[in-house]
Amino acid sequence: MQDQILFIEMVPTPIWGVSLRRHLPRSAWNRLRQAVLEDCEYRCEVCGADISGKRQAVADEVWNYHTDRSPAVAELYDIQGVCMRCDRIKHLGLTSALIGQGHMAADYMDELRAHFCKVNGASEEEFEYQRGMEFAVQAQLSQHDWTVDWGEYEELVPEAVLGQVFSQDRKPTYPA
């Protein structure tokens, strides 16, 4: 495999659905999304695909997870303009859940696997290996209670959300 540029980035179960997009008024998110897409000149920041079509562009929140403190901290450190396929691969846990619930066609996973392999110069076996490893990492991360560091976006987040702790026993609200 060449240098990997597209990664599966599983979200710990206790913080499924916790996102800047969900906490902002739609108009504020749309302004932020538009700025992100203009900054990347409507090219996917991962694979380089044209994302100028309305349904092809995603403003993807990029998180780091720190488990060296209690509660663990999910840190929002960037928002990237990405294509729908890269987004669905990055959030393969959500994608898998949506496929399992019948909200997406089962063969969509084949399309995503092919995209991952093409972008990374990887084999299907390498995709499956990384998918298995990321589900294992997600299981470990999900054993923690979490709080969120909104980074440079904190001033946009409603005060009621700041400092919340999301218990490992929390029932995920996403996907719905």
So what's the pLDDT on residue 4?
A: 85
* Alpha carbon distance 1, 26 (integer Å): 40
Q: Does some domain include residue 167?
A: no
In a domain, 58, yes or no: yes
For residue 138, tell me if it sits in a domain: yes
Q: pTM, whole model, 2 decimals?
A: 0.90
Number of structural domains in the chain: 1
Domain assignment of residue 162, yes or no:
no
Strand ranges in the chain using DSSP code E only, listed in sequence order: 57-66, 72-83, 146-149
Task: Using alpha carbons, list the distances in angstroms from residue 22 to 86, 111, 120, 121.
Answer: 20, 28, 31, 34
pLDDT at 98 over 80: yes
Whole-angstrom Cα distance, residue 6 to residue 42? 18
Domain that holds residue 66: 13-156
Q: Tell me whether residue 137 is in a domain.
A: yes
In a domain, 111, yes or no: yes
> pLDDT at position 168, please?
87
The pLDDT > 90 percentage for the chain reads 81
Q: What is the pLDDT of residue 56?
A: 80
Instruction: Tell me: pLDDT of 54 over 60.
Output: yes
Q: d(Cα 27, Cα 41) in Å, to the nearest integer?
A: 21
Give 145's DSSP letter.
-
Is 96:132 a contact under the CB 8 Å cutoff? no
Burial of 38 (0-12, 13-18, 19+ CB in 10 A): exposed
- pLDDT, residue 176, reads 46
Angle formed at CA 130 by CA 146 and CA 87, multiple of 5 degrees: 65
> Is 107 domain-assigned?
yes
Residue that is written with structure tokens 């294992």 in the block: 136
Instruction: For residue 46, give the nearest of 89, 10, 13, 12 by alpha carbon.
Output: 89
Residue 172 within a domain: no
Mean model confidence pLDDT for the chain: 92
